[in-house]
Structure 1
Amino acid sequence: MSTPPVPVVLADRLAQFSELWSPKIVAGVNDYEVKLAKVKGEFVWHTHEDTDELFLVVTGRLTIRLRDGDVTLDPGELFVVPRGVEHCPVAEEETAILLLEPAGTVNTGDAGGPMTRQAEVLG
């Protein structure tokens, strides 16, 4: 007997945690992880040399600072930071985001430091 397929309800998953800048894995797509995170304030400037990074705003507003100018996202909007492009996410208010990136991608990229978090699976 197999279990029936169940959709991932983003609001339900977001209600399961409160930590900021700590991505949670909610699904997998081939060799990629679908992650949710709550963010507020400024992250660190960093680069992912080997992969693009997709940001989708679920709630709130996210600004992705780039050396060439800022990109501001409202709910339902997404932006892909190309591999090798230095960026710094910033949220004035608590914002929920969905990330799509290869499995094992470190949130702080090449920067490391105290904001580095290993993504954990959220059940």
Structure 2
Amino acid sequence: MPVREPIDLAAEARSDTYNNHPVADVNDHVVRISTMFEPFYWHVHPDSDESFLSLEGGLRIEFADHVVELAPGQLYTVPRGVPHRTAPVGDRSVNLTFEHRDAGMVRVDAPGT
């Protein structure tokens, strides 16, 4: 097995625009880092749960009937098949997401439209 270098999450999060990219593979899952400045569109993952770990600035996860806000250091899992969208709390948010490597994503209409 090859020796790997530690991942510098602060360096991976350096961005002045929206950025979402993989930083690690774990078994059959991928870990992505996302730097956000505005809400992401409504979507659903039909075949994978999606876990969010807030690192910086806080993360707002909106659902049709409620909202969850994560402070840095908090983790939340959205079950597969549940429409949602994410948005930064404040001007900027940095978070990690964990999902199945082959997870699909389908854009959906905002609730009530």
- The TM-score normalised by the length of structure 2 is 0.83
User: Partners of 1:77 and 1:3 in 2: how far apart?
Assistant: 31
Q: How does 1:27-66 map to 2 (within 5 A)?
A: 27-66=24-63
Rounded to whole Å, the distance in 1 between the matches of 2:106 and 2:70 is 24
Instruction: Kindly state the Cα deviation for residue 63 of structure 1 after the two structures are TM-superposed.
Output: 0.6
Indicate the residue corresponding to 1:101 in structure 2.
Answer: 99
Q: CA RMSD in A?
A: 1.9
The TM-score with structure 1 as length reference comes to 0.77
1:49 Cα deviation from its structure 2 partner:
1.0
Extract unaligned runs of 5+ from structure 2: 109-113
In the comparison of the two structures, how many residue pairs are matched?
Answer: 107
- Separation in 2 of the partners of 1:46 and 1:3? 36
Residue 70 (1) aligns with residue 67 (2): yes
After superposition, the C-alpha distances for 1:59-99 in whole angstroms (9 at most, x for unaligned) are: 01111001231000011111100001110111132111101
Q: Percent of counterpart pairs with the same letter? A: 33
Structure 2 partner of 1:120: none
Runs of 4+ in 1 over 3 A off after TM superposition: 2-5
AA partner of residue 65 (structure 1)? E
